[in-house]
Amino acid sequence: MEIIKDPKKIQELTLNLRCSEKSVSLVPTMGYFHKGHLSLMRWAREHSDIVVVSLFVNPTQFGPNEDLDRYPRDFERDKKMAEEVGVDYLFAPEVDDIYYPDHATWVNVPKLSQYLCGKSRPTHFQGVCTIVLKLFNVVNPNIAVFGEKDFQQLVIIKKMVRDLNVPVKIVGRPTVREPDGLAMSSRNAYLNEKERKEAANIYKGLVKAREWVKNGQTNSETIIAKLTEWFMEHIPSGEIDYIEIVDQENLTPIEEIEDKARLAVAIFLGKARLIDNILLEVKK
């Protein structure tokens, strides 16, 4: 595996690879790898000739009071893990290599960015879209792989790519979980022992809600009220940011589930803000 810091170098390299008919996959990440990241890399390994993983803690997707400075980092460990799954290039630029001091261009998908996480993180998805499009332009992938754990992000990236005719196929992959159900996340490192135990109840609550829907409860207000109560009892150290049931494509709230919907939650727990989501399906 080669480590590349210079965007111009990876750009030239991947352009040449594409000219010689090689398929290139990109897995964009902020590092501090866990099995969720590795599952995306493995998928890319199986489906393309060349796998590029980008490792960049993107400052523009963090709000002023968020965790940019303390975001967990361990480059040596990440390097080893990426190498073990057969990544070809680890693209790990510095902030100054990516953003000009007078960077002035932003990519926005405003409609989809106003819901869910966008309410408490108003500039987050602008930062995400901008860095992802920049990475696409630098790495020239034909495939880019994202996790369903960040469901809103996946929906927004798909829309951006469609609307701007970006020649990249977006692949979404299922959420990888700890044995107790907690969605793997670099931010789980912020949790103390007590919080970590309570955090497992996020997914347990989502699974309960999925069961309620299967058993005939289709009114979102009722489901959200029940789940709020359940979370307050089982995650006493947490504070709910949102619990919402939304349309899977346009992310608008659904009042009455008729077929499929996405239940998405964000919970503040200790120093972390944890997100998760699950598919709800009405039994027909």
For residue 271, give every residue at least 6 positions away whose Cβ sits within 8 Å of its Cβ, in sequence order, or none. 67, 70, 190, 191
If binding is defined by CB under 6 A, does position 203 make contact with ligand AMP?
Answer: no
Candidate list 60, 185, 218, 220; residue touching ligand AMP; CB under 6 A: 185
Q: Does 124 qualify as catalytic in the annotation?
A: no
If binding is defined by CB under 6 A, does position 129 make contact with ligand AMP?
Answer: no
Q: Give 43 or 212: the residue with its C-beta nearer to ligand AMP.
A: 43
Q: Give 40 or 160: the residue with its C-beta nearer to ligand AMP.
A: 40
In the range 22-41, which residues lie near ligand AMP by CB under 6 A?
A: 29-30, 36-37, 39-40
Q: Minimal distance in Å, beta carbon 18 to ligand AMP? A: 22
Closest to 39 (Cα-Cα) out of 135, 177, 136, 140: 177
Q: Catalytic residue, from 37, 103, 124, 234: name it.
A: 37
Candidate list 116, 143, 170, 176; residue touching ligand AMP; CB under 6 A: 176
The count of residues interacting with ligand AMP (CB under 6 A) is 17
Q: Give 196 or 257: the residue with its C-beta nearer to ligand AMP.
A: 196
3-state secondary structure of 81: helix
For residue 81, give every residue at least 6 positions away whose Cβ sits within 8 Å of its Cβ, in sequence order, or none. 33, 37, 38
Q: Give 98 or 183: the residue with its C-beta nearer to ligand AMP.
A: 183
For residue 40, give every residue at least 6 positions away whose Cβ sits within 8 Å of its Cβ, in sequence order, or none. 27, 29, 145, 146, 147, 173
Phi and psi (nearest 5°) for 226? -65, -40
DSSP 147-183: EGGGHHHHHHHHHHHHHTT---EEEEEPPPB-TTSPB
* Residue 161, number of CB atoms within 10 A of its CB: 19
Candidate list 26, 143, 156, 183; residue touching ligand AMP; CB under 6 A: 183
Q: Give 88 or 150: the residue with its C-beta nearer to ligand AMP.
A: 150
Half-sphere exposure of 195 (CA within 13 A, CB side): 17
Phi and psi (nearest 5°) for 238? -90, 165
If binding is defined by CB under 6 A, does position 186 make contact with ligand AMP?
Answer: yes
Candidate list 60, 175, 188, 201; residue touching ligand AMP; CB under 6 A: 175
Q: Minimal distance in Å, beta carbon 94 to ligand AMP? A: 17
Helices (H), 59-192: 75-84, 95-98, 110-113, 117-120, 124-139, 151-163
In the range 131-170, which residues lie near ligand AMP by CB under 6 A?
A: 146-147, 149-150
Which residues have a catalytic role annotated? Answer: 37
List interacting residues with ligand AMP (CB under 6 A).
Answer: 29-30, 36-37, 39-40, 146-147, 149-150, 173, 175-176, 183-186
